[in-house]
């Protein structure tokens, strides 16, 4: 269950980043409120997952999901650069996240 919660927290972290982008520096109300809600929700769910997962592993996975997911959606939706080196770096992040899950005792 903790891993599912951690995944959900990571997805909310991606939503947080996109809402922050849409808030234009928190000058737009609705995206700003969505950013606040998804950011707080992400951290809260992460804190629940930390009850049974090691902090180093959980935090690394959470940030990895957020970073890689945001980068991938940025490329797919916002037209961010898709150079081969950039894609390789994102794949390395995902490989690290998967590796941490595989070697975790939980």
Q: What is the 3-state secondary structure (H, E, C) of the chain?
A: CHHHHHHHHHHHHHHHHHHHHHCCCCCCHHHHHHHHHHHHHHHHHHHHHCCCCCHHHHHHHHHHHHHHHHHHHHHHHCCCCCCHHHHHHHHHHHHHHHHHHHHCCC
Evaluate if residue 105 carries a pLDDT over 90.
Answer: no
Residue 106 pLDDT: 62
Mean pLDDT calculated for residue range 11-17: 98
For the stretch 17-38, pLDDT in tens is 999 999 999 999 999 999 999 9
Residue 104 pLDDT: 80
pTM for the model: 0.89
pLDDT confidence band for 69 (50 / 70 / 90): very high
């Amino acid at each position: 269950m903790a891993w599912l919660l951690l995944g959900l927290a990571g997805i909310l972290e991606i939503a947080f980043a996109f809402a922050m982008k849409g808030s234009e520096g928190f000058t737009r109300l609705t995206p700003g409120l969505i950013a606040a809600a998804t950011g707080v929700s992400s951290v809260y769910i992460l804190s629940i997952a930390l009850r049974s997962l090691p902090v180093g592993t959980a935090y690394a996975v959470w940030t990895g999901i957020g970073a890689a997911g945001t980068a991938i959606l940025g490329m797919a939706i916002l037209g961010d650069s898709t150079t081969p080196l950039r894609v390789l770096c994102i794949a390395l992040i995902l490989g690290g996240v998967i590796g941490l899950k595989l070697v975790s005792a939980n």
